[in-house]
Amino acid sequence: MRQYFIQKFYYGDIPEEKSGGSNYEVKADESTWPLWEIFIRSKQGLDHKHVGSLHAADAQMAIENARDVYTRRMEGVSIWAVESKYIIASNPDEAGELYEPAMDKVYRHPTFYDLPDEVKHM
Amino acid sequence: MIQHFEEIFQQKIDKEIKIEPKDWMPDAYRKTNLRQISQHAHSEIVGMLPEGNWITRAPSLKRKAILLAKVQDEAGHGLYLYSAAETLGMSRDEMISDLHSGKAKYSSIFNYPTITWADMGAIGWLVDGAAILNQVMLTRTSYGPYSRALVRICKEESFHQRQGFEILLVLSRGTEEQKAMCQDAINRWWWPSLMMFGPKDSESTNSDQSMKWKIKRKTNDELRQNFVDMIAEQVKILGMHLPDDDLLWNETTKHYDFGAINWEEFWQVVKGNGPCNKQRLEARRKAHEDGQWVREAASAYAEKKRAMEKIKAA
């Protein structure tokens, strides 16, 4: 496998080996709060949309944290929180087979049909 | 086989298709993004400290409320970025540990002290101004979660720069002392702000993989030049000047020429020898340690509620 060594020191990308370092011991948190996916309805009549994720000990805290993190500027009127482990996602490696059935059905789109210009509003 | 994957990966990048967490990606792409996004997150969190210093001392209730909102935004930005970094397979705890042990870096600019109220203005105008240029570029970065976090951040960040400039504008129209304070803050923050964009392009010898992978789309020097051109004009409105005798409009390049940056200072601060490195890390560790019982109590409470629900259901 080819190896890349990226040494360009961009803003926000200071290499770790340049660090001053210290002997500070960090105790691992034994009780890591679970991750939640947050969905926000921006106004009545629209869908809830995924906005990101956050950690919270329980559902109520997830909603309250979501309010503080994702709706500080009135971005939402409703919040859904789902613990991330319950999200089932399709596998991108199988995208070809999964979506294949729709690929050859252009007649499902209105643009497939050539109609004379006289036909209006259709 | 891997080479084949890498070709497909690069083709996606070339076609401007974003990379999402479950997609195949080269190890180095994952690592570079992880390092960059987590450092960006740490910068937002540590960046709260120099400003937090002034929340209780802001000159009016209005300024307090604004500063509080701004610092709260930085906390939010840190959270968006930690979430984006977590999608690459590192836990939040590990990232925080790396920050606290000194292994992970954050932007060096936050290792400078905020000694007067005018510093709040200079940080908003110069530091946030520099960060915004970088972040606007990063909204088009190739990694989907990072890009989306940056879009959200940029939307919120524009108020930060404007409020900073306004603080300086008010000072620049004030008493002689206020004017002097304004100029002093600009003098102290100008050079560290230029360093925020990182070392000169010519000092990097390797092929530029980050550009090829479209993690970055502009070089350090390009962004820095954009920044100088923007600030050199804005400073005129304040009636102040930038502390650089070599700063001069260049009619041929249509850009401002500017003086040499003290890179020795930059590396000293990165290595931990800046004015506030120790203080910043200690503040972070203390906050984390003092919050330990709160995190534990919340977990215990959640556990107890779950147990109660089970009994009720039974």
Residue with tokens 């042990």: B101
The residues near B111 (Cβ < 8 Å, ≥ 6 apart) are B269, B274, B275, B276, B277, B280
Quote the CA–CA distance of B251 and A64 in Å, as a whole number. Answer: 55
The neighbouring-strand residues paired with A38 are: A52, A81
Which stretches does DSSP call E strand in chain B? 248-250, 255-257
Residues of B in contact with A93 (CB under 8 A): 24
Distances (CA, A) of A106 to A69, A103, A114, A119, B65: 42, 7, 13, 21, 56
Q: Write the DSSP string, A69-122.
A: HH-TTS--SEEEEEEGGG-----GGGHHHHHHHHHT-GGGSGGG----TT----
Contact flag B102-A24 (C-beta cutoff 8 Å): yes
With CA atoms as reference, report the closest residue to B281 among B117, B98, B120: B98
pLDDT by residue for chain B (314 residues), tens digit each?
A: 678 999 999 999 999 999 999 999 999 999 999 999 999 999 999 999 999 989 999 999 999 999 999 999 999 999 999 999 999 999 999 999 999 999 999 999 999 999 999 999 999 999 999 999 999 999 999 999 999 999 999 999 989 999 999 999 999 999 999 999 999 999 999 999 999 998 888 876 444 788 999 998 999 999 999 999 999 999 999 999 999 999 999 999 999 999 999 999 999 998 889 999 999 999 999 999 999 999 999 999 999 999 999 998 87
Which chain B residue's Cα is nearest to A94? Answer: B23
Q: List the single residue in B20, B39, B79 with the smallest CB-CB distance to A92.
A: B20
- Does B92 touch chain A if contact means CB atoms closer than 8 Å? yes
Residue with tokens 């100008």: B190
| Cβ–Cβ < 8 Å for A30, B227 | no
Cβ burial B261-272 (10 Å sphere, 16+ → b, else e): beeeebbbbbbb
Residue extents of the structural domains in chain A: 16-89
What is the complex's ipTM, to 2 decimals? 0.88
Quote the CA–CA distance of A11 and B220 in Å, as a whole number. Answer: 7
Residues of B in contact with A95 (CB under 8 A): none
Residues of B in contact with A72 (CB under 8 A): 69, 72-73, 76, 156
With CA atoms as reference, report the closest residue to B71 among B159, B187, B184, B4: B159
With CA atoms as reference, report the closest residue to B130 among B56, B254, B43: B43
Quote the CA–CA distance of A57 and A55 in Å, as a whole number. Answer: 7
Question: Residues A106, A109, A115, CA angle at the centre, nearest 5°?
Answer: 105
Q: B64 φ, ψ to 5°? A: -60, -50
Does 3.60.15.10 match the CATH number of domain A16-89? Answer: no
Helix (H, G, I), strand (E, B) or coil at A37: strand
- Tell me the nearest-neighbour CA distance from A61 into chain B, angstroms: 9
Which stretches does DSSP call E strand in B122-162? none
Helix, strand, coil percentages (3-state) for chain A, rounded to 5, are: 30, 15, 55
pTM of the model: 0.89
